[in-house]
Amino acid sequence: MGKHDSEADARILIDALLRQAGWDPADKSQVRTEVSVSGPAPLRDAPVGTEVSEAEESRRTDYVLLAANGRPLAVTEAKRGRIDPYTAKEQVLPMAKYIGAPFIFLSNGDLTYFWDYENDDARIVSSFYSRRDLERLIYLRKEAKALATVPIPDDFIRVGEVRIVRPYQKEVLRALAHAVELGKRRFLVELPTGTGKTDVICLHSKRMFQAGRAERLLFLVDREQLAEQAIAALQDLCPEYSSYWLKAGMAIQHKQITVCLLQTMIGLYPEFTSGYFDIVIADECHRSIYGAWQAALTHFDAFHIGLTATPAAYIDRNTYQFYQCKTGQPDFAFSMVKAIEEGHLVPYRFAKRITHLIAEGTTINGESFDPAEFERAWTNEDTNRKMMQEFDRLAWESYKELAPKQKEGPGKAIVFAISKHHAARLAYCLNQLHPEHDGRYAEVITSDIQDADAAIRRFKREVYPMLAVSVDMLTTGFDCREVLHIVLCRKIFSPILYQQIRGRGTRTAPHIGKKRFMIYDFFRNHEYFNDSETDIFEGPAGGVSPGGGGKQPPGGPTELVELGIQDDWLDSLTYVEVGPTGERVDKKVYVTNWEDAVTEAARNDPLIQKVKDGKPLTEAEERALAETLNRPENYFNEDNLRAAYRRAAGNLIEFVRHALGLEKLKSKNEEVTENFHAWLVSRNVTPEQAQYLALLKNRGLAIGKVELEDLFEPPLSILNAADVGIELFGEQGLQDIVADMNQSLFAKRAA
C-alpha cells in the first residue's frame, strides 16, 4: 500500500489512474475538478456548469467525468490513503443524483470502488472505466430487456450439423438467466467433458447480446486447442457478432467477442480498463484463479462465468469463493454418471488380461520424481514393444463390438506416454507393427512437431494416422468423437488429470454406432482411483477417494495437482524435452541458444524486427513467426520456453522481447506483488486490512510462505502483528486468510 496521507497525494495517484483509463484530467471537456453546484432541483438534463438559481444547499465533488456530449457520466470522490473510500458513499451520492451522473467512483489512489448506485452496491475495481465503457453501460441500461423474453432455442447448427439443445443445457441457460436477473455477477458451471460446455455458454452469450445485456465478451482459455474450439463455436453460434482470437503481439481489434489465452492476457490486461468487457468466460476455470492467472480475471469488472469439467470434490475452495458459491456447490452441476445414464455420454470398459508394469509405488529417489528417471526405471524397448503389441491385438479384437459401424480397424486411439521421448518410442513400435501403412499408422502429437494443428486435423478428419501418441497436449480441448481406445502408458497421480484423459473417449458418435470405449491401463491407474465400470470415479461422490491399492504420490493427497506432476518439477528439472523424439536439453543451454538465435535473427527477420520496433503483428504474422521459431533445429515454442525459464506464464512475444533486451521477464517477487493486488481485489478488504496483508506478503516473499508462528517472532512481533491481525480479522479469520494467501500467492502450481 502507498504511504500517502493527504488528499492531495491521493489526487496525484488518481490523476494517473484516470490517464491509464483514457481520461485527460487537464481537458475540461472530459474531466471537471473541484465541482460545486447548488440549487433546489437536479440538473439531469443539463451539462455540468449550467447556471442555477435559488440556492438551497451546496454540493461538491472532486471530479466529474463527462460524456462526449458534455453530460455527467460519473462523479469521483478522492480520499486520503488511510481512509477507506467506501465510507464516502453517502457523502457523494447527493451530488451524483443532483447532476444526474449515473455512476460514482470512490478512490484513495490505492483502492478504487465503482458504484452503479441504482443497481448495485459499490465494489472494488482494478481501474477506472473509460468514457466508452460508461457510455456503453448507459446504452445497455436503456436497451436491456429481460432474458426471459429471448426464447431458448430447441436446436442449433454446429460444424454443419443440427444439434438438439439437451434438457440439462436448457437448465443451464435458465439458471444463468435467473442469476442475471437476480444481479449475481459470478457463476460456476460444472459439466463433464463431452456434454457441450462451450456450446451452451455460446448460446447464453448470444441471448445476453440479444437481450441488450452485453456488448463485449472475453473468452479465456489456457490451451490453443481450447481457443480454436471456442472461436469456432462462437463463430458458428454467434455469426452476427464480430469476433477474433487475440494473440501475443497482435493489436487489440475492439471487436465484440475476444478469445484469448490466459498466458497472453496476463501480459495484455493492463491495456484494457476494468469495464471493457461485459462478460468474462473462463474455460477450465479451476486452473484460472491462482497466482498469475488470478490477475487476468480479477482485473475485469464483468459478469464472470466459470466453466469446468472437474467434479466439485476437486475444485479448490478459492474457485468457489471467486465465483461466489458455497464450497462444493457450483451454481449448476451435471454428473458424468447421470450423463451416461441419459445417453449423452458413452460408458467405458477396462481391457482385461493386460500386463501391469506397476502395482506398488511410483516415487524415484524419495520425493523427487523425474519423468526421465521414471521412464528409465519402468520402461525399455522390450516393455514398450510388449505394451503396444498387447494393445494393438486387443484393439483389433474389440473395435467392432465397441462401434459396429466403424469401417477401418481398430478405430481411433489416443496413447498417453510418460515423456516426449517415450511417446516417440511408442509410436515407432506401433508403426513397426503395421509396416503396410508406411509409418502413418501412428503419429506423435506434441507441441514440438512441425504444425501440430495440422497433425490434429489429420487425426480427426482422415483415416490415418489411426493412433495419436502424446503426453499432455491432448488431455484437454481435444474433441474427437470417434475415439474408441484410451491407452495409459504412464502413471497418473492427479484425479483431475485422470478424469480429463478418460473424458477423451466419452463423446457419442452415432455415425459409427459407438456403444462404449476401452481403456488400456498398463499402470493400474484405475485401481489407484478405485474406478470401475460399475462404480464410476468422480471423487467422493462416485467411486472412492484416490489411494486404493498404491502408495500416495509425493506430497500426499492434498497436494495432488492437475498435470499429474509436482509443481516444483518446474524448478527442479534441469532439462527441457524438445523435438518429436524428446531430446533432453539443459535448460541453461536452451535459454542461451534461444537468446542467441533471436539476437541473430533480428538482423534480417522482418517479423522479429517488427517486434523490436514495437509494432503489432497481424494474426498471419504471429502464426508465421511461431512456425519459424519452432523449426526442427531448435524447437523454440512457448511450452519449452516456459519450462526453460521456469515460468508458469509468458507468451512468445514476451520471450522475444526479453531475448532482445527490450524488457525483463518479471521476477518472482514482481509476479507475487502483482498477483497480491489482484488477490486483494477478490478479497474486498479495507485499507487497514490491505496494509496489514501487504506486511504479510513481504514476509512471504522473504521466506517463501507466511507462517502464523512468524507473527510472534521478530521482525513481525515488534509490530505487534499477531494482535493487530486478530483485531482486523478475528482469530479464525486470520488463520483462514494466511492459509488463503499461502495457497493463492506462494504455492507453486503446474504450468
Q: 488-531 pLDDT, tens per residue? A: 998 887 788 888 899 999 999 999 999 999 999 998 889 888 99
How many Å apart are CA 620 and CA 738, to the nearest integer? Answer: 46
How many Å apart are CA 459 and CA 588, to the nearest integer? Answer: 35
Question: DSSP class of residue 710?
Answer: G
End-to-end Cα separation, the chain, in angstroms: 29
User: Which of 62, 73, 86 shows the shortest CA–CA distance to 22?
Assistant: 73
How many Å apart are CA 732 and CA 46, to the nearest integer? Answer: 52
Highest mean pLDDT among 546-555, 645-654, 682-691, 727-736: 727-736
Q: How many helices (H) and strands (E) does the chain have?
A: 26, 23
pLDDT at 520 (0 to 100)? 96
pLDDT interval class at 745 (50, 70, 90): confident
Could you tell me which residue, 2 or 357, shows the higher pLDDT? 357
Are the beta carbons of 479 and 412 closer than 8 angstroms?
no
Are the beta carbons of 426 and 418 closer than 8 angstroms?
no
57-79 residues labelled b (16+ CB within 10 A) or e (exposed):
eebebbbbbbbeeebbbbbbbbb
In the block, cell 460545486 appears at 36
pLDDT interval class at 40 (50, 70, 90): low
Are the beta carbons of 582 and 593 closer than 8 angstroms?
no
- Average pLDDT of the residues of the chain: 84
How many Å apart are CA 723 and CA 713, to the nearest integer? Answer: 13
pLDDT at 341 (0 to 100)? 95
Q: Is 53 exposed, middle or buried (0-12, 13-18, 19+ CB in 10 A)?
A: exposed
Domain 147-334 CATH superfamily: P-loop containing nucleotide triphosphate hydrolases (3.40.50.300)
How many Å apart are CA 458 and CA 450, to the nearest integer? Answer: 13
Phi-psi region of 343 (alpha: psi -120 to 50; beta: other; left: phi over 0): left
Are the beta carbons of 652 and 248 closer than 8 angstroms?
yes
Q: Examine domains 7-131 and 147-334 and report if their fold is the same.
A: no
pLDDT digits (tens, 9 = 90+) for 681-696: 767 677 788 888 888 8
What number of CA atoms fall less than 13 Å from residue 188's CA on the CB side?
29
pLDDT at 436 (0 to 100)? 95
Tell me how far the alpha carbon of residue 155 is from its chain's centroid.
29
How many Å apart are CA 242 and CA 412, to the nearest integer? Answer: 35
**CA-to-CA dists, residue 216 to 211, 278, 302, 303, angstroms:** 13, 5, 10, 11
Are the beta carbons of 467 and 414 closer than 8 angstroms?
yes
pLDDT at 540 (0 to 100)? 53
- Rounded mean pLDDT, 536-546: 55
pLDDT interval class at 475 (50, 70, 90): confident
**CA-to-CA dists, residue 237 to 175, 227, 295, angstroms:** 20, 15, 29
Q: Is 436 exposed, middle or buried (0-12, 13-18, 19+ CB in 10 A)?
A: exposed
User: Which of 489, 520, 525, 485 shows the shortest CA–CA distance to 504?
Assistant: 485
Are the beta carbons of 521 and 209 closer than 8 angstroms?
no
CATH topology of domain 349-442+451-554: Rossmann fold (3.40.50)
- The β-bridge relationship of strands 303-308 and 58-66 is unpaired
Bridge partners for 521 per DSSP:
488
How many Å apart are CA 385 and CA 389, to the nearest integer? Answer: 6
How many Å apart are CA 91 and CA 485, to the nearest integer? Answer: 66
- The β-bridge relationship of strands 517-521 and 575-578 is unpaired
Pick among 3.30.70.1400, 3.40.50.10860, 3.40.50.300, 3.90.1570.30: CATH of 7-131: 3.90.1570.30
Does pLDDT of 541 surpass 80? no
Are the beta carbons of 365 and 204 closer than 8 angstroms?
no
pLDDT digits (tens, 9 = 90+) for 417-473: 988 889 999 999 999 999 999 999 999 998 888 788 889 999 999 999 999 999 888
Cell of 719: 509490530
Are the beta carbons of 579 and 448 closer than 8 angstroms?
yes
Q: Is 531 exposed, middle or buried (0-12, 13-18, 19+ CB in 10 A)?
A: buried
User: Which of 750, 283, 217 shows the shortest CA–CA distance to 477?
Assistant: 283
pLDDT at 56 (0 to 100)? 39
- Listed range (129-133, 159-163, 314-318, 701-705) with the worst mean pLDDT: 314-318
Helix (H, G, I), strand (E, B) or coil at 426: helix
pLDDT interval class at 577 (50, 70, 90): confident
Does pLDDT of 568 surpass 70? no
How many Å apart are CA 370 and CA 349, to the nearest integer? Answer: 31
The domain segmentation of the chain, as residue ranges, is 7-131, 147-334, 349-442+451-554, 574-659, 685-746
How many Å apart are CA 37 and CA 57, to the nearest integer? Answer: 8
Does pLDDT of 57 surpass 60? no
pLDDT interval class at 198 (50, 70, 90): very high
pLDDT interval class at 291 (50, 70, 90): low
- Listed range (198-212, 259-273, 579-593) with the worst mean pLDDT: 579-593
Handedness of CA 207, 213, 216, 221 (dihedral sign): negative
How many Å apart are CA 515 and CA 398, to the nearest integer? Answer: 12
Q: Which ranges constitute the DSSP H helices of 618-730?
A: 619-629, 638-645, 652-659, 668-683, 687-703, 721-729
Could you tell me which residue, 396 or 367, shows the higher pLDDT? 396
Bond prior to 94 in cis (omega within 30° of 0): no
Tell me how far the alpha carbon of residue 749 is from its chain's centroid.
13
pTM of the model: 0.83
Does pLDDT of 678 surpass 90? no
How many Å apart are CA 740 and CA 472, to the nearest integer? Answer: 29
How many Å apart are CA 389 and CA 395, to the nearest integer? Answer: 10
Are the beta carbons of 675 and 295 closer than 8 angstroms?
yes
Could you tell me which residue, 10 or 433, shows the higher pLDDT? 433
Cell of 696: 504479510
User: Which of 516, 495, 513, 496 shows the shortest CA–CA distance to 505?
Assistant: 516
Does pLDDT of 356 surpass 80? no
Q: Which run of H or of E encompasses 361?
A: none
How many Å apart are CA 583 and CA 635, to the nearest integer? Answer: 10
Cell of 433: 507393427
